[in-house]
Amino acid sequence: MKNHFKKTIWIWIPLIFGMLSLAACNNNDDVVSPNPNLVEGVDTSFISPKFDFESKFVTVNGQRLHYIDEAGQGDYTFVLIHGLPTWSYLWRNVVPHLKNRGRVVAIDLIGHGKSAKPAMDYTISNIADFAVQQLNQLNLGDNIILVLQDWGGPVGFEYARQNPNKVKGMVFFETLFAPVPSFDVFPPDFAQFQQFIRTGTEGDNTPGSSWDMMVNQQFLLEVLVPDLILRKLSEEEMNQYRTPFANVAERKVMWQLPQEVPVGGDPAQAQVFFESLQAFMTTTQIPKYMPHGNPGFNVSNDDYEFWTTILPNSTHEIVGPGLHFLQEGSPHTLGIAIKKWVDKF
């Protein structure tokens, strides 16, 4: 509380002096902004843990799916799609920046966040199908900018593949759009992880099994999420990610979805799904922007460089230091970078 009070004081002191200077000036054009941390009305001096948005829901195939829908200033509709094991909370500090350019919608994929978590088959094609049907109910218009990360990438790419005339731009990072030929292309540790999670069986609670590690121990949530952000999340923030998965019976997606990376043709259904995405992404002229952190995690700077050679009308940019969850580590940098890219249209 003391640190928060001190931080608040130091934010307000320059603001007060700035207001006094403003009163003393006869020519408003000569006044310098009293708070240099304000960027189009968004305070970039801190990362808020609060999720101050109204929750909304639609029903798809009998399942209640969550989203937020924020009105903004501008003609675009930004659609933000998270990955595993996060939810729309991940975008909370990016949303205010994008509202300066239009409406902002952020969805929770089925099995995540405040959306339903039924006992279903959590293949990437099933998850994408629910999301596409959800988005089709939201009257998004035909001036859509997709903002995608992690498993939100293939989900959003599938929406764009089905609605190419509605999508005016795609922003994505730390994601995947094509099958992987073999485990050899992965770093050794990640290759070992991918092989390990494919050896287990659903419901096997044997200590050390893949189900035990991913479901009971919540490896992705308790280890990878905090380790892949270049700052320490507060307990309040961590609890926002833990709460949706409080019930162990609703964590199946944590075990199954990571296995949906198609490696050497397996799983077959995922292979087919990603082959269709690859064909679309390597031919569509929809503008593509890849803002990313340095050094990144799943995707390196060299990977992005290569992607710009195979993805038409694409560009990438290091927007600052970051690993996998740039939305938590550098949300303001990310939001500002996306606005600048959109302003070039």
- Active-site residue set: 150, 174, 324
> How far apart (Å, rounded) are the C-alpha atoms in residues 134 and 156?
12
Q: Are 46 and 7 in contact (CB under 8 A)?
A: yes
From edge to edge, which strands make up the β-sheet containing 102-107? 56-60, 63-70, 102-107, 76-81, 144-149, 167-173, 288-295, 314-322
Structure token digits, residue 259: 């296995």
Q: Which of 200, 248, 254 is nearest to 225 (CA)?
A: 254
Q: Which residues lie across from 170 on neighbouring strands?
A: 146, 288
Residues in Cβ contact with 68 at an 8 Å cutoff, skipping those fewer than 6 apart: 53, 54, 55, 56, 88, 95, 104, 105, 106
Q: Are 147 and 99 in contact (CB under 8 A)?
A: no
Structure token digits, residue 130: 């629910």
Q: Are 150 and 296 in contact (CB under 8 A)?
A: no
Chain centroid to Cα 69, Å, comes to 16
Amino acid letter for position 286 = I
Q: Is 107 helix (H, G, I), strand (E, B) or coil?
A: strand
Element (H, E) at 226: helix 225-227
Q: Which residues lie across from 308 on neighbouring strands?
A: none
Angle CA 83–87–89, to nearest 5: 130
DSSP label at 73?
S
37 phi, psi to nearest 5 deg: -80, -10
Amino acid letter for position 24 = A
Q: Is 324 helix (H, G, I), strand (E, B) or coil?
A: coil
